[in-house]
Chains A and B, each alone.
Chain A
Amino acid sequence: MANIGIDLGTTNSLVAVVMGQTPRVLLDDDGRSMTPSAVRYTGAKQADGSDAPPMIGWDALDNAVDHAETTLTSVKRFMGRSLDEARKVAEELHYTLAEGEGHDVVRIQAGDKVVTPVEVSAWILRLLYMRANECLMAEPTGVVITVPAYFDDAQRQATRDAGKLAGMNVLRLLNEPTAAALAYGLQENSQGTYAVFDLGGGTFDISVLELTEGVFQVLSTAGDTRLGGDDFDRELAKLILSKAGIENAKGSVLRAAMEAAEQAKRDLTAGEIAAISVELGGQSVQMQITRAEFNDLIRPIAERTLKSCKQALADAEMEPADMDGVVLVGGSTRVPLVREIVEEFFGQKPLSNLDPDKVVALGAALQADILTGSSELSDDLLLMDVVPLSLGVETMGGVVERLIWRSSPIPVTASETFTTQVDGQNAVDLHVLQGERELAKDNRSLARFKLKGIPDMPAGLPRVKVTFTVDADGILSVSATEQYTKTHAEIEVQPSYGLSDDEIENMLESAIDNAESDVDQRLLIEARVEAQQVLAVVDKSVKADVDLLGGNETQVISQVSDALREACESDDRKRIQELTTKLDEVTAPFAQRRIERDLKLALEGQDALQVLDVLDRTVKAAEDAAN
């Protein structure tokens, strides 16, 4: 019975678990804590003709120079991204993106196989999961996976999908800085405000957190999903290549230059000078690069972090000097220039007594342990995350109407009412966006969907109340109800650049059936709730407008209502749903007469305001009846 924490990083990944009271990073057979986030597709077949599993981690990096095209690294940058977005950085890659439409999810051509970043990530997760399984001598119960705080909905969905694909029970996606602060906060056992400066391989995050009375609250978060230590390597590699007189390096030459750059970066972190000796396309190259040269090269990149720092502090309504501590996360914070810049900006020496490469995994393990409910900290400590980017919908003229603001604590819900533009319109298109810009086109498109099944009504009469819910993982779902008829439609938002459920289903090698009973139970409760709402509306309107009922209508309605009430006592979901639909059907003519009469009464006065007032009252009545 143990939950594990996984830091799924751009360059390296780690797995940790709490043993006794202490979180520990689990080591591989060779005693290494970090596993490269790399997967190599060998093209090998198994005896039965199916594809052999790819090589993962260190194995994948063996001879990577010779297999640059099939060795996939840094795929975290493409999680939840479209092909168009990925193409912008395609020239920096040593592997090839598969052909496709620009708005498609990124697919990578690895030899004769085409894979998605979600699949690649799932292999890395599997390896770490298996390591935990061996170390614990038991299958982990649940997993906490960390994500950059700045990850948007699509990127979080993709991460959760990778866990699902790897067959894990993903308990929670946890923001990396929150995990880091958790690891430090407990060790220091202190209250106060912390800045977490996280410069990883491919992403930069800055978060301001407050620990008060056992609640870790993220006050604000900012960052850049396209900024990291890999950028330092790339700049260094460019310098090495240009010093060697090589232009337009690709494939294995680029990979060799990158490896030399990574080594040089490490040398320049420890010392003042790096001596480089590398084979580049059959040419033996020697050169030296000094710390000062390196600093000049990377300073523009490193200083880009400060823009986000200022943003995060402004959002938290704080000054750099208000921080009680600055936590460093990510291997790239070892670079001396980065530490200098951080110290200068915050006016204090950053904390560094925990290994910046391990601190996120340690925090993830602590949170995983808290989620068992049996940890000493379970009753005392709570992590409250916030929405990283505002959520809104596109309105007339392509303007964004914000519904949930950046930095709101999650989970959070918000509602907005939409109506129709033409008579008899049965569907409304909605475009959901994430971002801070005024115009829809400048924000990230999360999803487009249609609200269907709106009953025939004059333009402007339907009131479709759409509720947006962001869960504790920062993932959005949307539900919609037409307020007058209580027509209900639940919509799981499909990110525009994500994978559809069908795609994930197809990728799953075996069906996951453990969650089935939970789902059944939920559907039954939902069916009952819906039935009760419909019953309440019918009861109320029958009492209010008894004069509009004709023939044997009263008798039929009461028969169906009674049968539905009886069905609600049972567990027969199908019967409940059937009778709910039946009740809707038999009351439809009556509902239509009620709308017509209200409208007629209002229109007799020819006063638009009065019409609106009647509509408001009918909507309100329906709501009251439902509650």
Chain B
Amino acid sequence: MTQCWQCREPVQGPVCAGCGAIQPPPPHPDLFAILGMSPSFVIDRKAVDKAWRAASRKVHPDRFAGASAVQRRMALQWTAHLNRARKVIRDETQRAWYLATGSERPSEGANKQPDPAFLEEVFELNMLRAEDPEAAILRAGELQGTEQARLAALFAAQEKGGSLDAVPAILNRLNYLSTVISGGHE
């Protein structure tokens, strides 16, 4: 429980119930929490949108059109957080990364190289792709299926105390595989 910066009453959530002032957003809010959701790998996109709409209605800058410039700025920051949260949570890769690491997935993906055996596999797939694209895409698709199943299994096991340490590596491999399938074009 913190104090409202304006009226000094205790305040919970982004807007003070007492005086209506918007509160300063935390610099790195929990993306699930600001949408009022519990962290989970399995989500319903419609439910995410619903939560996003409800949260946005409270903090959008339009709600503070008549307020001070400082409040409008904070409203902008809150809404930008909400829009980012919706984007990350709706996307399976970004969601998995966020749940496993607590941070957003960098645009270039993981810096760590995958294990040599996997790299060899990708190399062979790329060779195969030049000769027989259909077979290569089929094979890459199979590998994708395997990795996705592992991902889902890790998150299922997490509820019983399992570790998510292997998630970034799996996402990294999935990234390689989708590059093989798209032929190097994103």
> What residues of chain A have their CB less than 8 Å away from a CB belonging to chain B?
142, 171-172, 212-215, 217, 370-373, 378-379, 382-384, 408-413, 416, 469, 471-472, 515, 518-519, 521-522, 525, 627
Query: With A and B bound together, what is the CA distance between A217 and B57 in angstroms?
Result: 12
A411 and B79 in contact, given A384-B56, A525-B70 (Cβ under 8 angstroms): yes
The reply to whether A413 and B70 contact each other, CB–CB distance below 8 Å, is no
Q: Is B160 interfacial (CB 8 A cutoff)? A: no
> What residues of chain B have their CB less than 8 Å away from a CB belonging to chain A?
27-28, 49-50, 53-54, 56-57, 60-63, 65-66, 68-70, 73, 76-77, 79-80, 83-84, 86-87, 107
The reply to whether A410 and B83 contact each other, CB–CB distance below 8 Å, is yes
CB-CB under 8 A from B84, the residues of chain A are: 412-413
The reply to whether A522 and B69 contact each other, CB–CB distance below 8 Å, is yes
Contact of B80 among A382, A411, A521 (CB under 8 A): A411
CB-CB under 8 A from B76, the residues of chain A are: 411, 469, 471-472
Q: List 14 A-B contacts (CB under 8 A).
A: A171-B65, A172-B62, A215-B56, A372-B66, A379-B57, A382-B57, A411-B83, A471-B61, A472-B79, A515-B69, A518-B68, A519-B69, A521-B70, A522-B69
Query: With A and B bound together, what is the CA distance between A409 and B57 in angstroms?
Result: 14
A609: nearest residue on chain B (CB-CB)? B111
The reply to whether A213 and B65 contact each other, CB–CB distance below 8 Å, is no
The reply to whether B28 and A627 contact each other, CB–CB distance below 8 Å, is yes
The reply to whether A521 and B68 contact each other, CB–CB distance below 8 Å, is yes
CB-CB under 8 A from A215, the residues of chain B are: 53, 56-57
CB-CB under 8 A from B73, the residues of chain A are: 522
CB-CB under 8 A from A384, the residues of chain B are: 56, 60
The reply to whether A522 and B70 contact each other, CB–CB distance below 8 Å, is yes
A472 and B60 in contact, given A412-B80, A627-B27, A627-B28 (Cβ under 8 angstroms): yes
Distance to closest chain A CB from B32 (angstroms): 18
The reply to whether B65 and A411 contact each other, CB–CB distance below 8 Å, is no
CB-CB under 8 A from A522, the residues of chain B are: 69-70, 73
- New A-B pairs, 19, CB < 8 Å, besides A382-B63, A413-B77: A142-B65, A213-B53, A213-B54, A215-B57, A373-B65, A382-B53, A384-B56, A408-B87, A409-B83, A409-B86, A410-B83, A411-B76, A412-B83, A416-B107, A472-B60, A472-B62, A472-B79, A518-B69, A627-B27
The reply to whether B83 and A371 contact each other, CB–CB distance below 8 Å, is no
CB-CB under 8 A from B60, the residues of chain A are: 382, 384, 472
Distance to closest chain A CB from B123 (angstroms): 22
A386: nearest residue on chain B (CB-CB)? B83
A212 and B53 in contact, given A521-B68, A522-B70 (Cβ under 8 angstroms): yes
The reply to whether A373 and B53 contact each other, CB–CB distance below 8 Å, is no
Contact of A382 among B49, B50, B62, B69 (CB under 8 A): B62
A383 and B62 in contact, given A408-B83, A469-B80, A521-B69 (Cβ under 8 angstroms): yes
Contact of B57 among A142, A214, A521 (CB under 8 A): A214
A371 and B56 in contact, given A409-B83, A627-B28 (Cβ under 8 angstroms): no
CB-CB under 8 A from B83, the residues of chain A are: 408-412
Query: With A and B bound together, what is the CA distance between A481 and B162 in angstroms?
Result: 38
Distance to closest chain B CB from A311 (angstroms): 19
Distance to closest chain B CB from A366 (angstroms): 12
Contact of B62 among A370, A521, A525 (CB under 8 A): A370
A215: nearest residue on chain B (CB-CB)? B53
CB-CB under 8 A from A383, the residues of chain B are: 62
CB-CB under 8 A from A408, the residues of chain B are: 83, 87
Query: With A and B bound together, what is the CA distance between A410 and B73 in angstroms?
Result: 13
Distance to closest chain B CB from A63 (angstroms): 42
Query: With A and B bound together, what is the CA distance between A408 and B84 in angstroms?
Result: 9
CB-CB under 8 A from A525, the residues of chain B are: 70
CB-CB under 8 A from A411, the residues of chain B are: 61, 76, 79-80, 83
CB-CB under 8 A from A382, the residues of chain B are: 53, 56-57, 60, 62-63
Distance to closest chain A CB from B74 (angstroms): 10
CB-CB under 8 A from B87, the residues of chain A are: 408
CB-CB under 8 A from B68, the residues of chain A are: 518, 521
B67: nearest residue on chain A (CB-CB)? A373
A372: nearest residue on chain B (CB-CB)? B66
Query: With A and B bound together, what is the CA distance between A420 and B42 in angstroms?
Result: 41
Distance to closest chain A CB from B161 (angstroms): 27
A472 and B80 in contact, given A371-B66, A382-B56, A518-B69 (Cβ under 8 angstroms): no
Distance to closest chain B CB from A135 (angstroms): 22
| Best-buried of B61, B65, B68 by chain A (most CB within 10 Å) | B65
CB-CB under 8 A from A214, the residues of chain B are: 53, 57
Query: With A and B bound together, what is the CA distance between A213 and B27 in angstroms?
Result: 29
Query: With A and B bound together, what is the CA distance between A608 and B186 in angstroms?
Result: 30
| Best-buried of B54, B56, B83 by chain A (most CB within 10 Å) | B83
CB-CB under 8 A from B49, the residues of chain A are: 212
CB-CB under 8 A from A171, the residues of chain B are: 65
5 closest residue pairs by CB, A with B: A371-B65, A518-B69, A215-B53, A413-B80, A472-B61
Query: With A and B bound together, what is the CA distance between A410 and B61 in angstroms?
Result: 10
Query: With A and B bound together, what is the CA distance between A22 and B19 in angstroms?
Result: 30
CB-CB under 8 A from B27, the residues of chain A are: 627
B74: nearest residue on chain A (CB-CB)? A525
B76: nearest residue on chain A (CB-CB)? A411
Distance to closest chain A CB from B94 (angstroms): 13
A374: nearest residue on chain B (CB-CB)? B66
Distance to closest chain A CB from B175 (angstroms): 17
B86: nearest residue on chain A (CB-CB)? A409
Query: With A and B bound together, what is the CA distance between A172 and B64 in angstroms?
Result: 11
B46: nearest residue on chain A (CB-CB)? A212
CB-CB under 8 A from A379, the residues of chain B are: 57
A378: nearest residue on chain B (CB-CB)? B63
Query: With A and B bound together, what is the CA distance between A370 and B62 in angstroms?
Result: 8
The reply to whether A213 and B50 contact each other, CB–CB distance below 8 Å, is yes
CB-CB under 8 A from A471, the residues of chain B are: 61, 76
Distance to closest chain B CB from A188 (angstroms): 20
Distance to closest chain B CB from A185 (angstroms): 15
B68: nearest residue on chain A (CB-CB)? A518
A141: nearest residue on chain B (CB-CB)? B66
A174: nearest residue on chain B (CB-CB)? B62
Distance to closest chain B CB from A517 (angstroms): 9
Query: With A and B bound together, what is the CA distance between A469 and B81 in angstroms?
Result: 11
CB-CB under 8 A from B80, the residues of chain A are: 411-413, 469
Query: With A and B bound together, what is the CA distance between A411 and B70 in angstroms?
Result: 16
Distance to closest chain A CB from B66 (angstroms): 6
CB-CB under 8 A from B65, the residues of chain A are: 142, 171-172, 371-373
Query: With A and B bound together, what is the CA distance between A413 and B28 in angstroms?
Result: 13
CB-CB under 8 A from B77, the residues of chain A are: 413
